[in-house]
Amino acid sequence: MRIAVTGASGFLGRLLAGALLKRKVFAGEPVTRLVLVDRVAWPDPRSTADPLVEVVQGDVVDRLTEVFAEPVDVVFHLAAAVSAECEADFDLGMRVNLDTTRAVLQAARAQSVAGGPVARVVFASSLAVYGTRPTPGPAPVISETTLPTPQSSYGTQKLMCEHLIADMTRRGFVDGRIARLMTVAVRPGRPNAAASGFVSAVIREPLAGRPAVCPVDPGLQVALSSPRRTVQGILRIAEAELGTGPGRLDGAMPVNLPALTVSVAEMLATLRELAGDPIADLVTLAPDPAVEAVVGSWPALFDNRRAAGLGLRPDPSFVSVVRDYLTDHADAVSDAVSDAVSDAVRGQ
């Protein structure tokens, strides 16, 4: 089975590629080739040293002929411009999110029309396809049957891609799978341009002994998924059998990955409880209306039943999310924090 991953040098792309290489099996079939596609070089060359790996570096659109030079069975399409980038540069978002997705789908379609395999195209969409304007009363609980009304260019572009994938699946050109991702936290490494980047930063930076800024009202609720649960969800949706009923995927119908709902205030309280006052005090509040406008338009309460039908569950608590980060990225945590955080929370 030949599998391609676009956006493979990004954080989730690296995690997904690592998971596939570790298991070396997809949907019961051996992985014979893993094609990693990205315009950005891989941070650690050792991650691409596996003999199953083929690296294709360059703009995805420009390299699709190379990617599809041999039959592609599965494409994980993760390459994207993130939310704040799309608000700042409309043309960038349209080119990277919509045009690139269309090019990937057209390449997969050409393969099937020519008599090759119908590629399984797994698309990383986003909760940003929904948009909630402030209304009186309790916040709505969102499900896949909720009408998407995006309030950002990023969300709009993701939704357009979803519709295109659904139609090409209906026509039999591809086998489309759509995973709507929650805000992924805690992400390691350097901050990115996502409007939701602060969700990771207010935890990651203080744990490394660095200051961080919270640009939103601490009362804001967000829908989270840890990196581990996010990759698990993407793979489960990709491998699910088609059909109706528990454990099956109803064609290209989107699946919202299961969400843990937590307020920013609760996140900061968890940081204070686990790491102590000096670490928590590294976070300062500095409201940014542009960030609040984007992130505040995203819903926070989700009905997780469709994901649960596939065996997926949300993270049990924000403590568990932090525990995962501490376990997976111990080298990114300052010595002072390592001494402060309890052994129980670190899972030792």
Q: Is 187 contained in some domain?
A: no
What's the residue count for the chain?
348
The structure tokens 């990115």 sit at: 192
Q: Give the predicted TM-score (pTM) of the model.
A: 0.93
Position 345 scores a pLDDT of 53
What integer pLDDT is reported at residue 344 of this predicted model?
Answer: 42
Q: Is position 76 within any domain? A: yes
Claim to verify: residue 241 and residue 274 sit in the same structural domain = no
Confidence at residue 305, expressed as pLDDT on a 0 to 100 scale: 93
Q: What is the CATH number of the domain that holds 202?
A: 3.90.25.10
Same domain for 89 and 201? no
Q: Which domain holds residue 100?
A: 2-182+226-256
Task: Based on the fold, state whether residues 210 and 123 are members of the same structural domain.
Answer: no
- Mean pLDDT across 40-64: 89
CATH number for 73:
3.40.50.720
The verdict on 159 and 108 lying in the same domain is yes
Neighbouring residues of 120: CB distance < 8 A, sequence distance ≥ 6? 73, 74, 75, 174, 175, 176, 177, 238
User: What is d(CA 292, CA 294) in angstroms, rounded to the nearest whole number?
Assistant: 5
Give pLDDT, residue 43.
Answer: 78
Total domains, the chain? 2
Q: 82 and 24 share a domain? A: yes
Residues marked as catalytic:
154
DSSP summary character for residue 95: I
> What percentage of residues in the chain have a pLDDT greater than 70?
95
Statement to judge: residues 145 and 27 lie in one domain? yes
Tokens encoding 133: 């304007």
As a whole number of angstroms, the distance between CA 152 and CA 130 comes to 9
